[in-house]
Each structure stands twice: as C-alpha cells, then as structure tokens.
Amino acid sequence: EAMLKILSVASGPLEHDWLCRAVRAELSGSVLPGEETLEAIEVAFAQNEELRLVRRSEDTRHRTQWGLAHDVVREVLLETESEREQARLAGRIADAVGEERRDKHDLRFEYELRASRVAKAIKAAVRAARTAEARFAYHRSAKLWRWLLDNEDKLNDPSVHPRAELARVEHLAGQHAEAAELYRSWAEETEDRMRRAKIRADEAAAWLQAGQSDAAVEALEGAYRAFGQTYVGKWHATVSETPRRLVATLVRWNEKLAAAVKPGKADKNEVALGRLYDFSLEYSAWLLSGRADEIESRLARLASSAGDTSILASHRMRLALLHAGEGVASKRDRAFRWMDEADRIARGLDDPA
C-alpha cells in the first residue's frame, strides 16, 4: 500500500532505489526490523507486479524503474489522499532522490515544491538552473531563475542574485529585449557606481542584439555617467571632422606611452572605464558612429595617464585599426607592428610570471 501511494503522486516512473528508500522511510515506524522491511518491500514489488498494479521498465542507462500500470489506479488512490497527504508523500520522493545526482536537481526541485518545502525547493532550483545552463538548456534555466526571482524574499543566500542570473541567461537564450529590461531594473536597484556602469553596459549590449540602437545609446549614456562623462554630450567637431588629425594626435601620444607603463594594473575604475571605451568602439557602427573619434581620443588619453598595460594594449590595437584603414602601404605596415605589439602586451598580461 505504501508503495502504491508513493507512486500515485509521482510525475513519472521512479528508479528502483528511490522507491525503495521512499517506502522504507514511510514504513520507518512499522514493527518490522530493518532487514525484514527490505525483504517486505521486495515481496511487495513482486506482488504488485503480478497484480498488474505496477509496471517495471528501464531508463536510458538500463536502470530499473517503477510506475503505476494504469491511470485508473492513480485516480482511485488520489481520491483517498488529502492535499496535505500528497504533499507529504512528495517530500518522501524528494528525500529519496537526494542531492548527489547532478542530473536530477530539476526533479528534486519539482518534488520539494510540491511538498511545500520552499527553502529546500530554492536550493534545488539554484542547482537545477545552473545544471540546465551547463547543458545549454537556457530557456529551462531562465524559467527556474524567474521562479527564484519571484521568491527572492525567501532566499537566504546572499551570493545568489536571481535578477542578474536571469538577465544573463535570457541573453544567452536569445531573449535580448527581456534581458535588457532586466539589466535596467537591476541597475536601478544597484547603489555601487562601478557595478552600475557595468550593468548598464551589459544592458546596451543586449539592446544592440535586440536591434534597438536608441535604447542601447541611452543605456550607454547611463554607463558613462557613472564615470562623470557622457557618451553623446557635445559634439567635438574639431576632432570628428578630421580623422587624420586624430591619427596624428594618437601617434604623438603613443610615443610617450612606453615609458609611462606601470608594472601593475591601473585603478579598477580606470580599467572599467577602458573597457567601456572598448565596448563603445567595438559597437560604434550600431551606436553613434560619429562618436568613435571622440571615444578613441579618450582611450588614448586614458592610456597615457593610467599607463596600465591592459589599457595600453587596447589603445595600440585601436591605433593599428585606424592606420589599417588609411590605404597607404607604409601605414598598414605600421598598423601590423602595433597589432603585434598589442599581442605581446596581451600575452604578457596572461603570463603568470
């Protein structure tokens, strides 16, 4: 009877070992000793199968599993069980599934939720969401993170951020507009200035992939404000109308950079700003292409003042790209040299020595 009741609340076939553990727990208060309980469970398997109440099958890994043989059996059993009793039995299955099987976190979440054990369901949901992402099941992962976001007030782990995870996974799932909206709401709730700038930049990237460049520009403007700067601001016509003049300026600054390079990294705010410049330049064709020259000059000034190797490498690569487009052989050669230098600097950054 205990076996049939447990199977009546199961959403699918249960592995033999799980069902044995669940039934044994259900019979823990019986008068049968431990060994006799196991023997009784095995006898029950045979009897119920002979009566055609349960059906034996195998999963893809040839593990024996059990389920009710007919839906009518389930219906009859459920009619005699209250919702509270069904929740208790679902908890038995959740305990039997356990936490050791990484591929079953999703199943554990289902039964914990049906058992109304919210704290344990949250723990299982986090694990299930991460497992789903690792398997490229982004939509399933997003669904779990959304449930966690809806129950964020019950989450006691400060290291888990459902909104951030949901935004990231929605982006991976191709739901770029939804991801951008999530990034925006997350940024509005974030007090740390540098973190907010990073989130707004991620929002801009999501808007770009959603094909909404105006919204991307607005998000990027918010990222720049964290550094006391603007992305659109006033147009610098003296620079933007003369690309060659900008190149000459960058070359002049470039000659002073090598001596200014610091052995360590720049201030974290300077590094973050350098990354923001990189993002603006990389996607300038989809943002405001006329701002590229001004952002190039800002990157050069930052590389000169910060003297940081990572910023310097970025600047050298941007300078090489400017020269590569000039169409003059000598300038292309110079561009290739700067590309090589940027590569050497980058390799030096990755060198643990």
DSSP string, 128-146: HHHHHHHTT-HHHHHHHHH
Alpha-carbon distance 350 to 110, whole Å? 44
Q: Parallel, antiparallel, or unpaired for β 54-58 and 64-68?
A: antiparallel
The confidence score (pLDDT) of residue 185 equals 93
Rounded distance between C-alpha atoms, residue 256 and residue 185, angstroms: 43
pLDDT score of 62: 85
Q: What is the pLDDT of residue 243?
A: 41
**Distance between CA atoms of residues 123 and 116, nearest Å:** 13
C-alpha–C-alpha distance, residues 182 and 98, integer Å: 33
Best CA proximity match to 202, nearest among 234, 226, 232: 226
Note the pTM of the prediction, 2 decimals. 0.70
pLDDT for 141: 96
Given a contact cutoff of 8 angstroms between Cβ atoms, the answer to whether 281 and 303 are in contact is no
Res 92: pLDDT = 93
Residue 36: the pLDDT is 60
CA distance 75 to 251: 80
Give the total residue count for the chain.
Answer: 353
Between CA 191 and CA 197, with CA 195 as vertex, the angle to 5 degrees is: 100
Tens of each residue's pLDDT in the chain, 353 residues: 888 999 999 988 999 889 888 888 887 755 455 556 777 888 888 888 888 998 988 887 888 899 898 889 899 889 988 999 999 999 999 999 987 677 789 999 999 999 999 999 999 999 999 999 999 999 999 999 999 999 999 998 888 999 999 999 999 999 999 999 999 999 998 888 888 999 999 999 999 889 888 899 899 999 988 888 888 754 333 333 334 444 444 444 444 444 444 444 557 787 788 788 878 877 777 777 677 778 877 877 777 776 666 666 666 666 666 555 555 455 556 555 655 655 555 555 444 43
pLDDT reported for residue 258: 42
Other Cβ atoms less than 10 A from the Cβ of 136: the count is 11
Rounded to the nearest 5 degrees, what angle is found at the Cα of 317, between the Cα atoms of 338 and 290?
130
